[in-house]
Structure 1
Amino acid sequence: MENGNGLKIMEKNGLSLNLKLQNGTKVDNGTHWCFRGNKELDTPPEITIRGVLGMLKDSLDPSDPRPTIPLGHGDPSYFPCFRTAEVAEKSIADALHSANFNCYAPTAGLPSARRAVAEHLSADLPYKLIADDVFITVGCTQAIEVALCALARPGANILLPRPGFPIYEARAVYSHLEIRFFDLLPEKGWDVDLNAIEALADENTVAMVIINPGNPCGNVFTYEHLEKVAETARKLGILVISDEVYDHITFGSKPFVPMGVFASIVPVLTLGSISKRWIVPGWRIGWLATNDPNGILKKTRVVDCIKGYLNISVDPTTFNQGALPHILEKTKEDFFQNIINTLEHTSEICYQKLKEIDCITCPHKAEGSMFVMVKLNLGLLEDIKDDMDFCFKLAKEESVIVLPGIVVGLKNWLRISFAIDPCSLEDALGRIKVFCQRHSKQK
């Protein structure tokens, strides 16, 4: 019941407990508590990748004797065919055993790590980055946080791709950046809708985000398309945040081209890490690099804001930073090629097997990263309301976990990861086919 002041009252064991005021604060036996949780962090689990995957895992049938096959996340390290390079493991061990990296690191990162990343990225650029252009972060996730916080100001907005990686949306909301979505076009290989960019932007737009190679679409942008992106951003007076965590993980006809190639046209913040290319997402070491030969980011004090955020933020583990130069410099090309060959093989399995499933359409074969987006035809299915319902019933009935497209911005689509061992992938796609046949409408 409710008293005259809007106070919720509960009767329990003969006691009246004051539970909740209309303004959301709590009281208990007459005490008025002045704190409450930050509503911006009270995120429903069904709108985050980790939240949804956790819920799908909880919905599995424990009596199913078959192994659960995870096609919902981008962590291939679970499978032996995707083990990291020996030189990477040895570099971490050597750095730890040296006892040279037990101290705090500078907030921007160890100079040796920053210098190594600058040299690593410069190999693909028409100019040279220096250590001062690089900031070491706790994986690419922290690089996202740093970039968005550095650009946030009252009334500002940012342009995000749809479909995209939902952490950008979550961090933008938390930084009080208004979000405006532009579409990636499946009929054009998931290219950016550049006309939409121009229509969405105004004087309060600070940046646009691209992810290349693409998560969740598996696309790779061409040199020509990226040049148009740069020219559009320059016309609008905004910078480009280029998420390149899957850099060089390409296996189609398009080579990887870093957005920094066009930094003479528009300033670029490049975000990356060793998580995906070296198959070590749990090591949590990444970077943010300022590609800015014209010095615009310094003149606008964006670089100062990046430093300011890092001064009040957590640092990557120091021995990981100490190992980074050897990891970047000593890993041999055959390691990367083996990973590419495996992903090319599994992406082909995925594409061909999906063709056999009537209710699923793959508009564009993956050419990079570890994912592909596919569309559901709900008109061919019985008792399936939407993509979320599809994924929960699939998990329960077939012990296969796939990410609903709504989580990455496209309702009634699915994001499928093919970064698993080939046998497991074939098994999973076979189970999905059986599931769809079981739920197909009778003709």
Structure 2
Amino acid sequence: MPTPPVKPLATRERLSEVRYEIRGELARRARELEAQGQKLIKLNIGNPGAFGFRAPEHLQRAIADDMGRTDPYTHQQGLPSARDAIAAAYAQSGTPDAHPDRVFVGNGVSELIDLSLRALLNPGDEVLVPSPDYPLWSAATILNDGRPVYYRCDPDNDFLPDPVEIEQLVSSRTRAIVLINPNNPTGATYPRELLERIVAIAAKHRLLLMVDEIYDQVLYDGASFVPVAPLAGDVPCITFSGLSKVHRACGWRVGWGVVSGHGDVVRDFLHAMDLLSALRLCANVPGQYAIEAAVNGPDTISALCAPGGRLYETRRAVIEACEASPHLALVNPAGALYAFPAVVGDAAKGFDDHTFALELMETEGVLVVPSSSFNVPYRHHFRVTLLPEAATMREVFARIDRALSRRAEAATKVVPIKGTSRPAAA
């Protein structure tokens, strides 16, 4: 009897619309090169523990002290004591109606972004997302049957959005506005007046504000952070944060979302979030025992972001390298853990960010993320994380500059046209 032909298992069609190059094709190629013995400097992921950072000792101790209590499931919204601590901290910073019943603890902010969009969207609904964005926002919108609609955060405007453009993009299907502040990948921080204008748009059009503030305390050179929820008041808002960045505990997978806004407006959304939280039973329990220590404990991030601190000095190394290079331009990051340089001049002629990222990895041993991964219309930027030591970052940018110099030389090289003595650009 003949063997029937093998038919591949069909997968969800909308996955073809999703990209996540931070851990995608380039990262897979990196693993292949490492398996062949090539040493790489990988700057694609904002993962503090991979660069020698440790979660603060008082957070580690909090988990260790309570490890004997972590075996059972906890409440679907999170450990009650942890939600109490989060609610109290947000109330102190001015978030209206900050109550434990409005706090949801998740396996990182990533899970909560997915749950909140699943709670909100019907097929065809639209979400206003920044461009560049953190690509999970686009992916989660698409996979929950929504449509991301991008508002520009233009490099010529220091990567700040234009509220006029945001409002022009609102349609009858728009359900939410996403804000990432401080921003990943650009490092921009949003001033109060800009945030107030965006809040007013949300109020006028009855939209949910979805605010990713995971980098809220990672600030440089006197930059200020303005939380959105206190400005929003009765306007529905869900604010996301967690332990992964400020507290350098990515692997613990502890994030939270705090819902604010008028009770009658957010009631059904809260019920939906509670149902979806219950369906996944609960978030990682051991990590939740560190939340109270994190929100009430000492500040362990500011020193790293101040002159002489490790993050500050690495950022300084990036800024100086870009200033010294004829091939790079940079809007200096005011916050977060990334820089988003642009390739300029002769090196930018015919430049493709993905092709360059692959070439850079294979010839210079450096892995970066191409700008097209962040849902932008241009292809001449790339993202690096600021987590390595400053000396390592200076070496990284020496290699980047070497690769870009080769491209610039090739772009300006003159070769004779065959059969004539007349030169032509290569």
TM-score by length of 1: 0.86
- Contact preservation (8 Å) 2:327, 2:405: no
Q: Distance in 2 between matches of 1:272 and 1:62?
A: 36
- Contact preservation (8 Å) 2:327, 2:401: no
Query: Where in structure 2 are the equivalents of 1:5-24 lying within 5 Å?
Result: 17-20=4-7
Which residue of structure 2 aligns with residue 140 of structure 1?
Answer: 109
Which residue of structure 2 aligns with residue 273 of structure 1?
Answer: 242
Q: Distance in 1 between matches of 2:58 and 2:388?
A: 22
Which digits, 9 at most, give the CA deviation of each residue in 1:78-107, with x for residues without a partner?
A: 223x322111111121121xx222111111
Q: Distance in 2 between matches of 1:307 and 1:62?
A: 44
| CA deviation after TM superposition for structure 1 residue 408, in Å | 0.6
- Contact preservation (8 Å) 1:271, 1:287: yes
- 157-166 or 116-125, which deviates more: 116-125
- Contact preservation (8 Å) 1:91, 1:327: no
Which residue of structure 2 aligns with residue 414 of structure 1?
Answer: 382
Q: Distance in 1 between matches of 2:172 and 2:263?
A: 21
- 269-278 or 407-416, which deviates more: 407-416
Query: Where in structure 2 are the equivalents of 1:22-421 lying within 5 Å?
Result: 36-41=10-15, 47-58=20-31, 60=33, 67-80=39-52, 82-96=53-67, 99-125=68-94, 127=96, 129-264=98-233, 266-292=235-261, 294-299=262-267, 301-330=268-297, 332-333=298-299, 335-341=300-306, 342-362=310-330, 364-377=331-344, 379-380=346-347, 385-410=351-376, 411-421=379-389
Q: Distance in 2 between matches of 1:389 and 1:219?
A: 26
- Contact preservation (8 Å) 1:95, 1:323: no
- 321-330 or 270-279, which deviates more: 321-330
| CA deviation after TM superposition for structure 1 residue 284, in Å | 0.1
Letter in structure 2 aligned against 1:295: G
- Contact preservation (8 Å) 1:244, 1:270: yes
**Structure 2 unaligned runs (5+)?**
414-426
Q: Distance in 1 between matches of 2:269 and 2:145?
A: 17
Which digits, 9 at most, give the CA deviation of each residue in 1:157-191, with x for residues without a partner?
A: 11111000111111111110122111112222211
- 232-241 or 53-62, which deviates more: 53-62
CA 1:440 to 1:322, structure 2 compared with 1: closer, same or farther past 3 Å?
same
CA 1:379 to 1:226, structure 2 compared with 1: closer, same or farther past 3 Å?
same
Which residue of structure 1 aligns with residue 400 of structure 2?
Answer: 432
Q: Distance in 2 between matches of 1:314 and 1:436?
A: 50
- Contact preservation (8 Å) 2:131, 2:374: yes
Which residue of structure 1 aligns with residue 419 of structure 2?
Answer: none
Letter in structure 2 aligned against 1:436: L
| CA deviation after TM superposition for structure 1 residue 371, in Å | 0.9
CA 1:19 to 1:102, structure 2 compared with 1: closer, same or farther past 3 Å?
closer
CA 1:401 to 1:226, structure 2 compared with 1: closer, same or farther past 3 Å?
same
> Tell me, what secondary structure is at the counterpart of 2:384?
strand
> Tell me, what secondary structure is at the counterpart of 1:40?
helix
- Contact preservation (8 Å) 2:151, 2:165: yes
Q: Distance in 1 between matches of 2:140 and 2:215?
A: 20
- Contact preservation (8 Å) 1:59, 1:395: no
**Structure 1 unaligned runs (5+)?**
1-13, 21-25, 27-34
- Contact preservation (8 Å) 2:17, 2:142: no
TM-score by length of 2: 0.89
CA 1:127 to 1:151, structure 2 compared with 1: closer, same or farther past 3 Å?
closer
> Tell me, what secondary structure is at the counterpart of 1:18?
coil
- Contact preservation (8 Å) 2:234, 2:260: no
> Tell me, what secondary structure is at the counterpart of 1:435?
helix
| CA deviation after TM superposition for structure 1 residue 48, in Å | 3.4
> Tell me, what secondary structure is at the counterpart of 1:350?
helix
| CA deviation after TM superposition for structure 1 residue 37, in Å | 2.6
Letter in structure 2 aligned against 1:371: Y
Q: Distance in 1 between matches of 2:334 and 2:32?
A: 32
- Contact preservation (8 Å) 1:359, 1:376: yes
Q: Distance in 2 between matches of 1:61 and 1:435?
A: 20
Q: Distance in 2 between matches of 1:144 and 1:279?
A: 20
> Tell me, what secondary structure is at the counterpart of 2:210?
strand
Which digits, 9 at most, give the CA deviation of each residue in 1:1-51, with x for residues without a partner?
A: xxxxxxxxxxxxx9564345xxxxx6xxxxxxxx7333334677x643211
Letter in structure 1 aligned against 2:70: F
| CA deviation after TM superposition for structure 1 residue 327, in Å | 3.0
- Contact preservation (8 Å) 1:40, 1:173: yes
| CA deviation after TM superposition for structure 1 residue 314, in Å | 4.9
Q: Distance in 2 between matches of 1:325 and 1:55?
A: 37
> Tell me, what secondary structure is at the counterpart of 1:208?
strand
- Contact preservation (8 Å) 1:64, 1:399: no
- Contact preservation (8 Å) 2:134, 2:185: yes
CA RMSD of aligned residues (A): 2.3
CA 1:265 to 1:379, structure 2 compared with 1: closer, same or farther past 3 Å?
farther
- Contact preservation (8 Å) 1:169, 1:179: yes
- Contact preservation (8 Å) 2:107, 2:255: yes
- Contact preservation (8 Å) 2:106, 2:284: no
